[in-house]
């Protein structure tokens, strides 16, 4: 405990902790949207268990990655050059994760637009395979976001305990918010298309980052917040129209 006293008494350490927690929570929104859409395709009795197991395993994986932080930082070293840009392992992971998100969101949009074509669904019909597939995909995407956030965290603070606390706090928020968000998406079908649009945008951003084009995260989340606000207004408008129609029907 005495080893950590200087850290506890350092104001900059507390600022770094608060900043990291906020950053991890914000980055977790992307992951949470994906988890909500993915687990909502499972049988209802499996959904919450899949979310808890997936997020719990994601926490273990993030803590394990923090233990290899020195190795992760080396992932930013270019390993080859193409079109004048040096590509590192981090870049390749971001590009692969972005392509995965774009592909997944595109398949889901296609399935929503043409629900008759069940063969295009990316999840197998077997319940066991579906559950395992959902957990695997949650961990796969979390790996991409984890590496990106850990490299960002290292640039903000050299203290591993601060990173660990920030990760635990962010994953706890994800765990608490996962079911309410998934239920909200399930009850509002139009939100699903909006969320898939978010995943497309996030996937495209990851690809751009991997190609060396820096996209300020503030612009991305501002666009997401504005789109979400518009959708909330649309939901209120639809409910008002439905209430008015119901009132007129009752009068007649």
For residue 19, pLDDT over 80 is answered with no
Question: CA–CA separation, 157 vs 191, rounded Å?
Answer: 37
Domain check: are 104 and 177 in the same one? yes
161-182: average pLDDT: 85
Model pLDDT, residue 123: 41
Instruction: Tell whether 51 and 72 lie within a shared domain.
Output: yes
Question: Mind listing the pLDDT tens digit for each residue in 77-120?
Answer: 888 887 777 888 888 888 888 898 888 888 878 777 765 554 44
Let me know whether 196 and 236 are in one domain: no
| pLDDT exceeds 50 at position 147 | yes
Are 171 and 234 part of one and the same domain?
Answer: no
Task: Give the range of the structural domain holding residue 228, as residue numbers without chain letter.
Answer: 218-252
pLDDT for 178-216, tens place per residue?
888 888 887 777 787 888 888 888 888 888 888 888 877
Query: φ and ψ at 88, to 5 degrees?
Result: -105, 175
What pLDDT score was predicted for residue 68? 81
Q: What is the pLDDT of residue 125?
A: 42
pLDDT for residue 28: 77
> The pTM is what?
0.70
* Of 37-46, 48-57, 117-126, 192-201, minimum mean pLDDT range: 117-126
Report the mean per-residue pLDDT for the chain: 78
Residue 174 has pLDDT above 50, yes or no: yes
Residue 250 confidence (pLDDT): 62
Kindly state whether residues 161 and 232 are assigned to the same domain. Answer: no
What's the structural domain count of the chain? Answer: 2
pLDDT of residue 2: 46
Same domain, 34 and 8: yes
| Pair 123, 244 in one domain | no
Q: Are 234 and 150 found together in one domain?
A: no
Query: Are 82 and 27 within one domain?
Result: yes
């Amino acid at each position: 405990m005495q080893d950590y006293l200087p850290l506890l008494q350092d104001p900059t350490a507390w600022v770094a902790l608060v900043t990291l927690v906020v950053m991890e929570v914000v980055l977790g929104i992307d992951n949470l949207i994906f988890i909500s859409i993915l687990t909502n395709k499972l049988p209802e009795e499996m959904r919450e268990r899949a979310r808890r197991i997936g997020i719990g395993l994601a926490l273990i994986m993030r803590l394990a990655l923090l233990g290899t932080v020195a190795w992760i930082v080396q992932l930013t070293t270019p390993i080859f050059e193409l079109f004048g840009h040096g590509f590192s392992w981090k870049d390749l992971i971001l590009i692969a994760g972005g392509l995965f998100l774009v592909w997944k969101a595109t398949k889901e949009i296609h399935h929503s637009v043409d629900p008759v074509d069940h063969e295009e669904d990316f999840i197998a019909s077997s319940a066991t395979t579906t559950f395992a597939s959902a957990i695997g995909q949650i961990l796969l995407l979390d790996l991409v976001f984890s590496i990106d956030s850990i490299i960002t965290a290292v640039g903000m603070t050299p203290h591993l305990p601060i990173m660990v606390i920030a990760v635990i706090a962010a994953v706890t928020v994800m765990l608490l918010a996962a079911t309410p968000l998934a239920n909200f998406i399930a009850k509002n079908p139009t939100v699903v298309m909006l969320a898939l649009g978010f995943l497309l945008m996030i996937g495209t951003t990851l690809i751009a980052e991997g190609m060396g084009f820096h996209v300020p995260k503030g612009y991305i989340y501002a666009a997401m917040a504005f789109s979400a606000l518009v959708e909330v207004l649309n939901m209120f408008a639809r409910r008002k129209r439905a209430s008015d129609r119901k009132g007129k029907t009752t009068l007649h």
